[in-house]
């Protein structure tokens, strides 16, 4: 924002001053333990850490060592600066975290001015504070970092109002991967053309493809922000851009795969111009352009079939079609090359149908787009599609196996109406019957052959339309397949031409259970019938060890849907974080059922239950025993919570005044502060009631 980019390295001097402040206050020390020793001293989730021998060295000595680190007098790895907090803290992040490390390396912005560098957890809150951030938004994996975030701001005496960290679930889209590591692999392996490849789910990629900022904002508004893990259908993003471009992109004509159409009864050199509107009737905009019509035209190769299938409404021998804005024409014959392929279609036009209107009582079912061959502009068209053919690329193992081989098709010989020769780079158009397209700014000087380059932003309709339902018959899942209607003529033998679907993506429906075996699909069907959501059902079906835990949990009394959600989301995340496979989990489904029962009864909050789950993953045991040992039982004692509410409201008098002045949104913030005051153990519904009652009563 403002007039520049912001970098943490802009604040290195200020951050170092704050590090010295912590040392002078006795809240930080220089530790000379090795990395392995620091890790060993930190303890485990069930055992407190032990203090470093360096923890109690005098302030003056710590300050001198820190300045030696800053001056480059100590080698890499010989010392670190650590916060002095609590080596027995339940939150491992609070066990004297590292603040600075030595690294004699040139910085890409600051050169060799520094040889010590601050750690992320030190940079984050202090940079936010320096920049005046109010809401620091992080994904859920940073939830445990929030306590350290708040501690550092208080430790350096940063004045109120201070920034606050808020966590939310990351955005997951189907038919793509959102992991930065995986996206980097795609870039570095050359599977895409870079971070701004129009198939990438990056802002630079979406921008280059032609997505508008308004469409992306509308998409974000619709999906909202939540704490729960979920996957958003990419079709919603595509719908947002269609909706936005419908009123912004003028309609023009472009033939992607041209086939010559000769109007035999049209005078050889005569050119007629039709006034073609840029906007359909449902868009309240005006504007038109002249569209030249001549004896030789280009039409789409897909719009002609010598042997048409049943229900064909386009051009065929003896058939009539309407040419958009022009005339009704009737096919009279074809011209073929030496291989027997149709290279030219012959027709006659009806002068009485000028403007494309058929006389009363005459039915002309099809309308084709076209361009005049003598006036057409040669353009290159890049048809971008989804990067992955699998709805969940990760489900089958190696996500790269699910890459869509048809995610980019380059058409070098497309023919566009003449007005597009003067189009401004960065313009967006709707190519009628084809989709929305974006004129690459880089193509303002052409593609090397002097041709403008148009990227397809999105099709007019979703060709990936998912099956709305799976038909379960007995133990079998039957998928209803919806074939695309787009057909093309293809030579089979001699003069016989068979109409068939041209593109695989248009030929077959996309199965939401793609990548799963028949047995796994049957498992999904069974889970769906038990009330489990489709995403959780797919995750369980793809991992037998998770499915076993689910079956055990349900057998022990856990409700199906919550059990599946916890296993597919929270448990998988904890297993991945701990580096433990589900088959090696040190507990069974009965322990999960016990934990869910504790949540359902209100004995433990959902937040505290995640802490219990993390310990289960690492050590096994009984959730109830962990709950007692860690003191995580939910507090529902009204008298005890009233004291915590009073302390928070007394401490936050300025925000209390703001709330009473009309900032009602602070209610949730007060609840969060009380939850923090009670270590996350308070019953949040009770806290909310007590906070509201106290604020309203005091105001009265």
Q: For the chain, give the percent of residues with pLDDT over 70.
A: 89
Highest mean pLDDT among 417-421, 543-547, 598-602, 632-636: 417-421
Query: Taking residues 238-258, what's their average pLDDT?
Result: 95
Q: How far apart are CA 625 and CA 601, in angstroms?
A: 16
For 124-139, give the secondary structure using H, E and C: HHHHHHHHCCCEEEEE
Tens digits of residue pLDDT in 14-31? 999 999 999 999 999 999
Of 151, 27, 21, 36, the residue nearest 91 (C-alpha): 151
How high is the pLDDT of residue 119? 97
Q: For the chain, give the percent of residues with pLDDT over 90.
A: 52
Q: How far apart are CA 539 and CA 83, in angstroms?
A: 41
Question: Would you say the C-alpha torsion 295, 299, 303, 304 has a positive or negative sign?
Answer: positive
Residue 461 binned pLDDT confidence (cut-offs 50, 70, 90): confident
CB 437 within 8 A of CB 455: yes
Tabulate helix, strand, coil % of the chain (nearest 5): 40, 20, 40
Residue 665 binned pLDDT confidence (cut-offs 50, 70, 90): low
The answer to whether the predicted template modeling score (pTM) of the entire model surpasses 0.75 is: no
How high is the pLDDT of residue 396? 61
Enter the DSSP assignment of 584. Answer: G
**76 vs 37, 38, 100, 121, 123, CA distance in Å?**
16, 15, 12, 20, 20
Burial bucket for residue 372 (CB in 10 Å: 0-12, 13-18, 19+) = buried
How high is the pLDDT of residue 492? 32
How high is the pLDDT of residue 490? 31
CB 477 within 8 A of CB 521: yes
Residue 424 CB-half CA count within 13 A:
5
Tokens of 232: 């958003």
Q: For residue 492, give the 3-state DSSP assignment.
A: strand
For 394-414, give the secondary structure using H, E and C: CCCCCHHHHECCCCEEEEEEE
Residue 420 has pLDDT above 90, yes or no: yes
Q: How far apart are CA 515 and CA 2, in angstroms?
A: 47
Neighbours of 530 (CB within 10 A): 15
Tokens of 584: 């090696």
Query: Taking residues 657-682, what's their average pLDDT?
Result: 74
Q: For residue 477, give the 3-state DSSP assignment.
A: strand
Q: Write the CB contacts of 101 (distance below 8 Å, at least 6 apart in sequence).
A: 77, 80, 81, 116, 117, 119
Residue 244 binned pLDDT confidence (cut-offs 50, 70, 90): very high
Pairing of strands 435-439, 453-458: antiparallel
Q: Kindly provide the residue ranges of all beta strands, DSSP E only, lying in 72-118, ordered along the sequence.
A: 80-83, 98-102, 116-118
Tens digits of residue pLDDT in 64-78? 999 999 999 999 999
Q: How far apart are CA 255 and CA 539, in angstroms?
A: 43
| Mean pLDDT over the full length of the chain | 85
Query: Taking residues 231-251, what's their average pLDDT?
Result: 93
Q: Kindly provide the residue ranges of all beta strands, DSSP E only, lying in 201-318, ordered along the sequence.
A: 251-252, 254-255, 258-263, 272-277, 288-293, 296-300
Q: Write the CB contacts of 295 (distance below 8 Å, at least 6 apart in sequence).
A: 262, 263, 266, 267, 268, 269, 270
Enter the DSSP assignment of 568. Answer: I
Residue 631 binned pLDDT confidence (cut-offs 50, 70, 90): confident
Of 619, 677, 613, 623, the residue nearest 650 (C-alpha): 677
Residue 501 has pLDDT above 50, yes or no: no
Q: For residue 453, give the 3-state DSSP assignment.
A: strand
Higher-pLDDT residue of 643 and 283 is 643
Residue 503 binned pLDDT confidence (cut-offs 50, 70, 90): very low
Report the alpha-carbon angle 242-248-252, nearest 5. 90
Q: How far apart are CA 165 and CA 152, in angstroms?
A: 12
Residue 249 has pLDDT above 90, yes or no: yes
Tens digits of residue pLDDT in 287-324? 999 999 999 999 999 999 999 998 899 999 999 999 99
Conformation bin of residue 204: beta by default, left when phi > 0, alpha when psi is -120 to 50: alpha
Residue 505 binned pLDDT confidence (cut-offs 50, 70, 90): very low
Report how far Cα 679 is from the mean position of its chain's Cα atoms: 32
Residue 519 has pLDDT above 80, yes or no: no
Q: Write the CB contacts of 41 (distance below 8 Å, at least 6 apart in sequence).
A: 33, 49, 50, 51, 52, 87
Of 328, 333, 329, the residue nearest 317 (C-alpha): 333
How high is the pLDDT of residue 487? 29
Q: How far apart are CA 304 and CA 502, in angstroms?
A: 13
Tens digits of residue pLDDT in 381-407? 999 999 998 888 877 678 888 899 999
Neighbours of 525 (CB within 10 A): 22
Tens digits of residue pLDDT in 182-212? 999 999 999 999 999 999 999 999 999 999 9
Q: Write the CB contacts of 494 (distance below 8 Å, at least 6 apart in sequence).
A: 340
Residue 453 has pLDDT above 70, yes or no: yes
Determine phi and psi for 125, rounding to 5 degrees. Answer: -70, -35
How high is the pLDDT of residue 227? 83
Query: Taking residues 415-430, what's their average pLDDT?
Result: 94
Higher-pLDDT residue of 363 and 271 is 271
């Amino acid at each position: 924002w403002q007039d520049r980019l912001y970098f943490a390295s802009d604040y290195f001097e200020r951050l170092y001053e704050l590090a010295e402040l912590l040392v002078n206050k006795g809240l930080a020390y220089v530790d000379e333990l090795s990395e392995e020793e620091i890790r060993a001293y930190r303890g485990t989730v069930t055992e407190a850490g032990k203090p470093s021998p360096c923890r109690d060295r005098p302030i003056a000595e710590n300050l001198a060592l820190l300045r030696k680190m800053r001056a480059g007098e100590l080698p890499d790895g010989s010392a670190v600066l650590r916060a002095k907090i609590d080596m027995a803290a339940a939150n491992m992040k609070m066990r004297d975290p590292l603040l600075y490390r030595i690294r004699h390396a040139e910085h890409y912005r600051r050169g060799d001015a520094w040889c010590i560098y601050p750690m992320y957890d030190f940079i984050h809150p202090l940079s936010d504070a320096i920049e005046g951030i109010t809401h620091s938004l992080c994904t859920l994996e940073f939830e445990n970092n929030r306590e350290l975030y708040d501690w550092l701001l208080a430790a350096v005496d940063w004045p109120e109002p201070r920034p606050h960290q808020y966590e939310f679930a990351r955005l997951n889209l189907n038919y793509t991967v959102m992991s930065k590591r995986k996206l980097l692999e795609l870039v570095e392996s050359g599977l895409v053309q870079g971070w701004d490849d129009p198939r990438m789910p990056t802002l630079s990629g979406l921008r280059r493809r032609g997505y508008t900022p308004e469409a992306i904002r509308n998409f974000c508004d619709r999906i909202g922000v939540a704490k729960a893990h979920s996957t958003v259908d990419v079709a919603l993003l595509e719908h947002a851009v269609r909706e936005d471009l419908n009123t912004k992109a003028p309609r023009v004509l472009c033939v992607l795969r041209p086939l010559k159409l000769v109007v035999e009864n049209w005078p050889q050199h005569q050119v007629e111009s039709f006034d073609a509107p840029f906007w359909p009737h449902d868009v309240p905009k005006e504007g038109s352009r002249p569209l030249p019509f001549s004896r030789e035209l280009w039409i789409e190769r897909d719009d002609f079939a010598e042997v048409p299938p049943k229900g064909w409404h386009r051009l065929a021998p003896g058939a009539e079609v309407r040419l958009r804005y022009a005339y009704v024409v009737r096919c009279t014959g074809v011209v073929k090359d030496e291989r027997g392929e149709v290279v030219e279609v012959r027709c006659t036009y009806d002068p009485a149908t000028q403007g494309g209107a058929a006389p009363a009582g005459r039915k002309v079912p099809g309308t084709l787009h076209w361009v005049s061959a003598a006036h057409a502009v040669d353009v290159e068209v890049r048809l971008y599609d989804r990067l992955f053919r699998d709805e969940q690329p990760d489900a089958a193992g190696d996500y790269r196996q699910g890459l869509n081989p048809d995610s980019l098709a380059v058409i070098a010989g497309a023919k566009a109406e003449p007005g597009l020769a003067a189009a401004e780079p960065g313009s967006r158009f709707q190519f009628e019957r084809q989709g929305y397209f974006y004129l690459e700014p880089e193509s303002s000087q052409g593609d090397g052959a002097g041709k403008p380059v148009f990227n397809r932003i999105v099709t007019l309709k979703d060709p990936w339309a998912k099956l709305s339902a799976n038909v379960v018959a007995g133990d079998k899942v039957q998928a209803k397949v919806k074939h695309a209607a787009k057909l093309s003529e293809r030579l089979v033998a001699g003069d016989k031409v068979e109409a068939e679907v041209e593109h695989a993506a248009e030929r077959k429906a996309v199965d939401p259970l793609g990548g799963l075996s028949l047995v796994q699909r049957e498992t999904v069907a069974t889970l769906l019938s038990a009330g489990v959501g489709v995403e959780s059902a797919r995750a369980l079906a793809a991992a037998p060890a998770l499915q076993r835990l689910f079956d055990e949990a349900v057998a022990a009394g856990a409700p199906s849907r919550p059990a599946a959600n916890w296993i597919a989301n929270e448990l998988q995340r904890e297993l991945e974080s701990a580096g433990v496979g589900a088959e090696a989990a040190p507990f069974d489904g009965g322990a999960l059922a016990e934990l869910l029962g504790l949540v359902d009864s209100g004995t433990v909050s959902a937040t505290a239950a995640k802490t219990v789950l993390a310990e289960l993953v690492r050590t096994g045991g009984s959730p109830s025993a962990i709950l007692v040992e860690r003191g995580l039982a939910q507090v529902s004692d009204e008298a005890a919570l009233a004291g915590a509410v009073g302390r928070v409201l007394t401490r936050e008098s300025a925000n209390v005044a703001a709330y009473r002045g009309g900032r009602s949104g602070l209610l949730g913030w007060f609840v969060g502060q009380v939850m923090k005051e009670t270590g996350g153990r308070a019953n949040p519904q009770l806290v909310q009631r007590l906070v509201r009652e106290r604020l309203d009563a005091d105001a009265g």
